[in-house]
A and B are shown apart, each in its own frame.
Chain A
Amino acid sequence: MPQIELKDISKIYTVGGQTIKAIDSVSLKIARGDFLSVVGHSGSGKTTLLSIIGGIIRPTSGNMLFEGGDISNLDDDALSGYRNEKVGFMFQFASLLPVLTSVENVMLPGLFSSADRSDDYRKAAEYLDIVGIGDKINSYPSQLSGGQQRRVAIARALLNDPDVILADEPTGDLDEETEADIMALFKRLNHEKKITFILITHNLHLAAQASRRLRMTRGALEEF
Chain B
Amino acid sequence: MTKSFTLFSFATRNLKRKPLRTAVLVLSIALLVSALVFILSFVRRVDTVVRTASDRLGADVIIVPAGSRGAADDILLENTVKTFYMDKGLVEKVGRIKGVDSLTYQTYLASITGECCDVPETIVVAFNQDTDFIIKPWLDKAMTGRLKKGEAIVGSESAMNISLGLTEVDSHLFGNLFKMVGTLEKTGTGLDTAIFIDESNIEDILIKGKSGLKPGQISIIFARVKKGEDPSKVAGDIQDSSVEVNAVARKDIGRNILSTLKDLNRVFFVTVMLVSVLSVFLVWAVFSAIANERAWEIGIMRAIGAREGHVSGLFLVEVLFIGMTGSILGIVAGTTISVFLAKNFMLLKNVSAGLGLAERLVIALLSLTAGVGICVAGAMSPIRRLKKMEPLLAIRKE
A residues near B (Cβ < 8 Å) are 51, 54, 56-58, 76-77, 80-81, 83-85, 89, 91, 95, 97-101, 103-104, 107-113, 120-121, 138, 156, 160
Query: Which residue in A83, A98, A113 is a CB contact (below 8 Å) of B303?
Result: A83
B residues near A (Cβ < 8 Å) are 1-7, 10, 13-14, 16-17, 297, 300-310, 390-393, 395
Q: Which B residues are CB-close (under 8 A) to A111?
A: 5-7, 10, 306, 310
Known A-B contacts A56-B303, A83-B304; the reply to A112 vs B310 at CB < 8 A is yes
Contact between chains at A56 and B391 (CB < 8 Å): yes
Bound complex: CA A101 to CA B110 (Å) = 73
Interface centre among A51, A107, A112, A156 (most CB of B within 10 A): A112
Contact between chains at A77 and B307 (CB < 8 Å): yes
| Extra inter-chain contacts (20) besides given A56-B302, A98-B17, A112-B306, CB under 8 Å | A54-B303, A56-B390, A56-B395, A80-B306, A83-B304, A84-B306, A85-B305, A91-B395, A97-B300, A100-B5, A104-B2, A108-B304, A109-B304, A109-B305, A110-B5, A111-B5, A112-B301, A112-B304, A112-B307, A138-B2
Q: Which residue of A lies closest to B396 (CB)?
A: A47
Which 8 interchain pairs have the tightest Cβ spacing?
A: A84-B305, A99-B13, A56-B391, A112-B305, A80-B307, A112-B306, A57-B392, A121-B3
Q: Which A residues are CB-close (under 8 A) to B395?
A: 56, 91
Contact between chains at B391 and A57 (CB < 8 Å): yes
Q: Which residue of B lies closest to A138 (CB)?
A: B1
Contact between chains at A156 and B5 (CB < 8 Å): no
Bound complex: CA A66 to CA B300 (Å) = 22
Interface centre among B5, B304, B307, B308 (most CB of A within 10 A): B304
How many A-B pairs with Cβ below 8 Å?
Answer: 84
Bound complex: CA A91 to CA B395 (Å) = 10
Q: Which B residues are CB-close (under 8 A) to A91?
A: 300, 303, 395
Q: Shortest Cβ distance from B64 into chain A, in angstroms?
A: 70
Q: Which A residues are CB-close (under 8 A) to B14?
A: 99
Q: Which residue of B lies closest to A86 (CB)?
A: B305
Contact between chains at A156 and B390 (CB < 8 Å): no
Bound complex: CA A56 to CA B10 (Å) = 23
Query: Which residue in B2, B307, B392 is a CB contact (below 8 Å) of A51?
Result: B392
Bound complex: CA A156 to CA B16 (Å) = 24
Q: Shortest Cβ distance from A94 into chain B, in angstroms?
A: 10
Contact between chains at B304 and A84 (CB < 8 Å): yes
Interface centre among A58, A81, A108 (most CB of B within 10 A): A108
Bound complex: CA A100 to CA B304 (Å) = 15
Q: Which A residues are CB-close (under 8 A) to B392?
A: 51, 56-57
Q: Shortest Cβ distance from A26 into chain B, in angstroms?
A: 17
Q: What are 9 inter-chain pairs, A to B, with CB distance below 8 A?
A: A56-B392, A57-B393, A81-B307, A91-B395, A95-B300, A100-B10, A109-B304, A112-B307, A156-B304
Q: Which B residues are CB-close (under 8 A) to A138?
A: 1-2
Bound complex: CA A91 to CA B392 (Å) = 11
Query: Which residue in B17, B307, B393 is a CB contact (below 8 Å) of A99?
Result: B17
Q: Which B residues are CB-close (under 8 A) to A58?
A: 390
Q: Which A residues are CB-close (under 8 A) to B393?
A: 57
Q: Which B residues are CB-close (under 8 A) to A112?
A: 301, 304-307, 310
Q: Which A residues are CB-close (under 8 A) to B297?
A: 97
Bound complex: CA A111 to CA B317 (Å) = 15
Interface centre among B10, B297, B303 (most CB of A within 10 A): B303
Contact between chains at B2 and A101 (CB < 8 Å): yes
Q: Which residue of B lies closest to A106 (CB)?
A: B5
Q: Which A residues are CB-close (under 8 A) to B305?
A: 80-81, 83-85, 109, 112-113, 160
Bound complex: CA A121 to CA B9 (Å) = 15
Q: Which B residues are CB-close (under 8 A) to A103?
A: 2
Bound complex: CA A91 to CA B144 (Å) = 91
Q: Which A residues are CB-close (under 8 A) to B3?
A: 121
